[in-house]
Amino acid sequence: MANHKATKKHARQALKRRDRNKYYGKTTRNAIKSLRATEGAEAKEQLPLVESMIDKLAKRGVIHRNKAANLKSKLAKKINAAATAA
């Protein structure tokens, strides 16, 4: 365990950040799963919201910006393919 006052504070902050990052990450993963399950106009409406969540994760450093770009690209490709097939 930490001995210095500043190190104890850093440990407390790290715990808070970890919990916050886990929450944001899990919420975004659930949103991505629900978006993949939906089809049609509803999916087109949800796409910008999910992309925004992914961008925020990348901005916060929870995921890498390239991973965010790959996720957004795959989701958009899936939604557009479903729209053209229908």
Distance CA 46, CA 76 (A): 11
Contact 79, 47 (CB under 8 A): yes
Tell me the fold of 5-85. Answer: Methane Monooxygenase Hydroxylase; Chain G, domain 1 (1.20.58)
Q: Per-domain residue ranges for the chain?
A: 5-85
User: Tens-digit pLDDT profile for the chain (86 aa)?
Assistant: 778 999 999 999 999 999 999 999 999 999 999 999 998 889 999 999 999 999 999 999 999 999 999 999 999 999 999 888 76
Distance CA 83, CA 78 (A): 9
Distance CA 72, CA 55 (A): 9
Tell me, what's the pLDDT at 86?
Answer: 67
Tell me, what's the pLDDT at 2?
Answer: 79
